[in-house]
Every structure is written in structure tokens, then in C-alpha cells.
Structure 1
Amino acid sequence: MKAAAFVYPWDVNGDPGAPARIAGLGVEQVTLAAAYHSTRALTPRHPRHRIVTAEHAAVLYPPGDRWTGRALRPRSAGHWAPGDAHGEAARALADAGLAVHTWVVLAHNSRLGTDHPDTSVVNAYGDRYPWAPCIAQPGTRAYLVDLAAEAAVRPGARGTELESLGWYGLAHLHAHDKISGVPLGEAGEYLMSLCFCPFCRTGYGEQGLDAEELASAVRAALEPLWRGATADRGLPVVADLLGEQRAAAVRAWRDTAARTLQEEAVAAVRAAAPAGFQVLLHADPVPEHCGANAGVDPAHILSVADGVVVPCTGGTDLLAPFAAHARERTVLAANFGIVTGMGGSPRTLAADAARAKSAGATELRLYHAGLASDEDLAAVREALAAR
């Protein structure tokens, strides 16, 4: 199976040895960040720095003229990725013989929510999630579609991987995060991720729901969790908590918003890209799930995109629903963590890859070549050499 490693531009730029070191892992491709959220990242081998702090979500190249005069527009990166950082890194990696695909983070942007609070998801209690743009709002959708097209189709790129192209919700690796004191379970996290911004309230009305009654029902369903009821009976319990008709109407509103956004974004990328340009989504086969791996209907998304990148560090079970709908050229990329300190397991990569292949995976993704220790990278080289 072809293997690709995730990389940031700051892992490469200023480090002449980085391209050859990454190619030396045995990967054929890199997925290089072109639009990314705020982060603090380790660079354990860089000759000039050890910690990079990306202070806000940004594009890692100079944004184009399409954003002139628009209220919602991407921010340029600061000192952590100045100028055309993506282009500089892409050229160096290509010179080392690696195919470069872009890595584009979309509906995950704390700076957008800070600068434009009305764009954010609002939960049933009225709390805003500034990291989570509401993907049902027309202005936000137009921003995300244009960002996808511009950030995906960078010079020299052969394809793209679109992350968080769907609903984002409560779950978020936030600075100094302190929300895990009460275990919510799958159903609770879903209910805490439902959006009640003015636009979504109108959308619920179009589905025959009274938005305030729905919000009250959501709060009532969550109340036992705040009082210590910790049993997690999974997503099916949502229909019991809200009522089947109400739960189905909520799903209909949210699924339509996500599906149409995914269709529009992929179409915009393809319209801007050369022939043969590959478009993949980071995806989860459970439509109710929110986050970087957007919850999707496998049959639908594989009719829209060329394939998916599926999180597999916790096991390969999520591959099967996609494999059931795969076509001859469908890409099913199994994404494994290779950073031991972040829960990855590079020493079991060979066995994990074999299991993924048996489950239908056609490619591997390795997270993350810039963050991993030397020992982790040595284990990756050994595993890939054994393919």
C-alpha cells in the first residue's frame, strides 16, 4: 500500500535535511498543511527551533484576490509560516521525489469565531463554540467552499485532503481544556453539539420543529448527565431522549447541511484543479459524529469524493462501512498515529497496516512525520521497508 506522511511547512522550511529524511521513511507522498488551525507543535530535529506556536487559524500561503472586500476571509500566518511557506516546503519535498498533496482544515477555526461570533455553533444553553463555524449559515458555507478551492489547489499539488468538512461540535482539543469532569458519552456529546444559532433555529422550523421546545428537550435530556448518570448507551438513545420524530427532523436538517456543503466544496476544488487531481475527505462513517473526521454517510461521500482518510489508531473497525461502498478506484486511506507520546504505536505499524488492508484500506496515512521522535521514525522506516 502507498504510504503518505502528514507534515507542516515549518517542519521543512529552514531544515535542509528534512525532505530527504521524510523520503527516507519509505513514504511515497506527503500531505502538507496549506490551511491549518491554531496549534503548538514540537519540531525535535529542526536546526533553528524546537517549539512552533501557530497563534491562530491561517492559510500558509498568500491568500488570493477572491477575498478582497469580504468580511469572512482567511488570515495569513504570522512568523510561524511567513510568505508562501506551503509553496517553499512543497518544492523542497517534490525535489526529494515525494508527491505533494495539500492538507486543508476547514470548519475548525477559533479565530473566525472570535472575530465573527455570529458564525459559531451555539448550543442548547446559548453557549457559543468559537472553534466551530456553523456550516448551515450561507456566509460561512461560501467562505468554506472558496477556502477549500484555493487552499487545496496549490501549485504542484497532485491532490488534497479536506479535514473537518462537516459539523464541528463540543469535542475540541482546546488550550488548557477543562471540560472532561462530567463524562457525557456519545449521545450527550451529540446533544451538546447541536446548533441553535438563529439560522439553525429557522432550519428546525422548516423541519416542523419549534426550536425553543427542541432546545428545552435537549437540556432536559442532558440534565441527568450533569447530575452523575454516566451510563453511555450510545447514539440510539437520542431517539428515546428526544422522541423519534424530533430526533429524525434534527438529523434531516444537519445531514442536509453537511452533505450539500461537502458536495459544493468538492465541486469547487475540482473546478479549480487540473485533470486527475485527487480529492479525499477525513471522515467518520457515523453521520452524527462531529470534528476533524467529519461524520458522513459512506455511500454518499464515496459518490462525491475520490475517497476518505479514516482514523485507525484505535482500530480498523471504521473502515468496513466505507469498504462496503468502495468502487474500483476508491481510495480508503487508513490513518495511524506514529507519535508514541500522542497515543500512536509506530512499533505495531506493520501489523496494523496488514489489518487495515484486510479491512479494505488501499493506502496508509502516518500522523505525523514532523512531530515524531527519532525512535518513532526508525520504527516507521522498519515497518514500511517490510511492505
Structure 2
Amino acid sequence: MKASAFVYPWDVNGDPAAPSWIAGLGVPQVTLASAYHSTRALTPRHPRHRVVTAEYAAVLYPMAPRWAGRELRPHPAGDWAPGDAYGEAAASLAEAGLEVHTWVVLAHNSRLGAEHPETSVVNAYGDRYPWAPCIARPATRAYLVDLAVEAAVRPGARGTELESLGWYGLAHLHAHDKTAGVGLGDAGQYLMSLCFCADCRAGYDGLGLDPDALAAAVRSALGPVWRGAAASDGGWAGVEKLLGEARAGGTRAWRDGVARGLQESVVAAVRGAAPAGFQVLLHADPVSYHCGANAGVDPGHVLGVADGVVVPCTGGAGPDGAGAVVPFAERGVAGAVVAANLTVVSGMGGRPDVLGADVAAARALGANELRLYHAGLASDADLDAVRGVVGGF
């Protein structure tokens, strides 16, 4: 069962010991960030620093000339990942015998939304989500395709993992997030994530949904929730209960079609630029209307587009854990990767102390690869627990 550990360039650069202790975990592969959103990250073992603050979404390598003169373009990193930080780290890891794959964050970018508000998701109340680029907008889609190609196909990389390749919504875990005061539930989160920018309004209209009436219906459905009523039943039935079956189905048809089209375009473009045998995986959720870093997908569709998926599985074998691999594994697509992504940082809700049981559960449910989130963030005790398990798989 092939395993890979997630790593940031700043975990490696400036620490001569990093490649050896990462290889010593027993993983043959690392998934190394090449384009990443803003974050504040611990580096528990680094000889020069303990906290790295990535102030905005950036590429972690020198930008290519393709971006010159373009309105929508990525930004180079600041002093948290200067120069070719990705390339430096990749070379060090490869010298330690590790296979390097890129880790690319796409439709999650607060700086893009701040500098270009027209790119952002707009909810039914007219509020913009600057962290969430609307993937229905043609200019945004063109930007994401080109960013994916450049950030995925780095020198020496053997594959890529594409995060946020779909809709982002209300849930964000933004700095000092204070959005949990009202329990929206699964259905409410969906309604608050529906976009009403000009392109999405045109899309709804093309499917026979009056966008003004739809926005009013969303606000009306959420009114009792804001006043303290219990959130609707979960799942898609809850969305239909709040919005009505026809309206709910129309919004999902629009959003699913947009996401599938973007996924097809990005994967095709990456493969067109990559060497033979280059692996393309998507971070994915098997429920297509879900939003976030693990983009909601249709399992049958995505396994016909990419080489496989990376599925969040922290929490064991239950429906909120490794059970998420089942909709992908049961498709039985020959050669498809279904990688169980297990958090091994105990301070972030991970379960390194029962990693063996969680890996066994994921394998029994159909996972055929393993991802460990996140080698650079984990404590020594967490890594010791990982080291004792991974070598046996």
C-alpha cells in the first residue's frame, strides 16, 4: 500500500536533516506544495524557525513569462518561500530517495478575491467570498487551468495532487473565523454557498430558473434558521426540503456541470504538458454538491478523467472517516488510485496512535494508497507512531 507524506518547502529548506527523517518514516513518496494558500504553520524540528506565516496564496517557485501582462495571475511567495523554494526542497527530497509529487491548491485564494472582487462567489444576500473564486467565470477558469499546468508539472515531479479543483463555499476556516454562531447544517451550508455572480445567474436562467426568484427563495428558506430554528435535515433531501425539489435540482445541475467541465479541462491541460506516466490525482469528496478543499465530485465521472482521488479519511472507518473511500472504490475502475488521507497530527484531530487500525479499515473499504497529513506539522511523538506503522505496509 503506497504511502506519501505531505510536506511544505519550508519544512525542508534550511534543515539538512529533514530529507532523512522524512524518508525514515517509511514513505517512498512526498507530496510537496508548489502553489499554496495563505497559512500559519508550525515547524517543530526546524533549526531556524518554529512558525512560518504565508501571508497570501502564492506559487512557491519562479513564475513563468506566460503571466506577463495578464490581469489574473499568481503571486510569488514572500520571505516564507523565496526564489525557487519548491525546486530546492524537491531536489533535497529526491536526493534522499523520495519520489516527489506536486501539491497544487487552485480555487482557494483570498488575495485573488481581494484584488479582483469580480472573481469571487457571491451569495444570495450579495455578500462576496474573497477566498472562493467562482469557477463558472471564464477568466477565472482560464487562470486556474494555466496555474494548474505550471504548478503541477515541475521539473522532476512524477505526478500531482490537485486540491480545491471545484466549488468553494461558505466554510473556509479563515483567520479568526467567527461563522459558527448559527448551526446551518449540511443543507444550509449548500444554500449559503450558492453563487449569484453574473455568470452563475446566467447559468441558472439557461436552465429555466429565474435567478432573482431563486435568490429570494434561498433567503426565505434560511430565514427561520437565522432566527434560531433547527437546521434542516442533512443530505440532499434537506436541500430539497429547504429550497424545493425543482429549484434544488436546477442549482445542482448547473454547479455539477461547471465543476465537471473545469476538472476535465485542468486534467487534460496538465497531461498535455506532462511527461509520459505522470500521475494526476484530485483531492475529492464523493458528494458532488459539497464544497471545499476536497471538491465535491461524481465518483464515476472523476475516475474517468483523472488517475484517481485522495479522500479525507480521518476518523476511522465510519461514514465521516474511511467510509468516504467506498463510493470511489466500488466503481471498480482498473488502475485507479483511491488514496485514504489520514491526519497524523494529534493536535489537529489526527489519530496517529491508532494509525494501524485506521489504515486497515481504509484498506478493507477499498483504499489502495495512503496519504499522511502532515509530516512537517506533526510532533516527534506523532512521527514516532507513524514510523512504527507505515513501514509495515
TM-score, normalization: structure 1?
A: 0.99
Of 339, 349, 364 in structure 2, the residue corresponding to residue 358 of structure 1 is 364
CA contact (8 A) 2:232 2:241 kept: no
CA contact (8 A) 1:302 1:326 kept: no
Correspondence for 2:163: 163
Q: Equivalents in 1 of 2:332, 2:186: separation in Å?
A: 27
Say if 2:351 is the partner of 1:345. yes
Q: Note the alpha carbon deviations across 1:82-101, whole angstroms, 9 max, x for none.
A: 00000000000000000000
Structure 1's unaligned 5+ residue stretches are: none
CA contact (8 A) 2:322 2:365 kept: yes
Q: Equivalents in 1 of 2:84, 2:27: separation in Å?
A: 24
Correspondence for 1:6: 6
Dislocated runs of 4+, deviation >3 Å: none
Task: Give the alignment of 1:119-134 within 5 angstroms.
Answer: 119-134=119-134
Correspondence for 2:252: 251
Correspondence for 1:316: 322
Task: Give the alignment of 1:164-179 within 5 angstroms.
Answer: 164-179=164-179
CA contact (8 A) 1:5 1:369 kept: yes
Correspondence for 1:368: 374
Correspondence for 1:238: 239
Q: 1:232 Cα shift?
A: 4.2
Say if 2:289 is the partner of 1:283. no
Q: Counterpart amino acid of 2:263?
A: Q
Task: Give the alignment of 1:17-96 within 5 angstroms.
Answer: 17-96=17-96
Per the alignment, in what secondary structure is the counterpart of residue 229 of structure 1? Answer: coil
Q: Counterpart amino acid of 1:322?
A: F
Q: Note the alpha carbon deviations across 1:52-78, whole angstroms, 9 max, x for none.
A: 000000000011111111000000000
Per the alignment, in what secondary structure is the counterpart of residue 376 of structure 2? Answer: coil
TM-score, normalization: structure 2?
A: 0.98
Per the alignment, in what secondary structure is the counterpart of residue 46 of structure 1? Answer: coil
Percent of aligned pairs with the same amino acid: 73
Q: 1:231 Cα shift?
A: 4.1
Q: Equivalents in 2 of 1:185, 1:245: separation in Å?
A: 21
CA contact (8 A) 1:122 1:128 kept: yes
Q: Equivalents in 2 of 1:380, 1:122: separation in Å?
A: 42
CA contact (8 A) 2:27 2:391 kept: no
Q: Counterpart amino acid of 1:194?
A: L
CA contact (8 A) 2:42 2:377 kept: yes
Q: Note the alpha carbon deviations across 1:160-183, whole angstroms, 9 max, x for none.
A: 000000000000011111110111
How many residue pairs end up in the alignment?
387
Q: Counterpart amino acid of 1:70?
A: R
Q: Equivalents in 2 of 1:276, 1:236: separation in Å?
A: 41
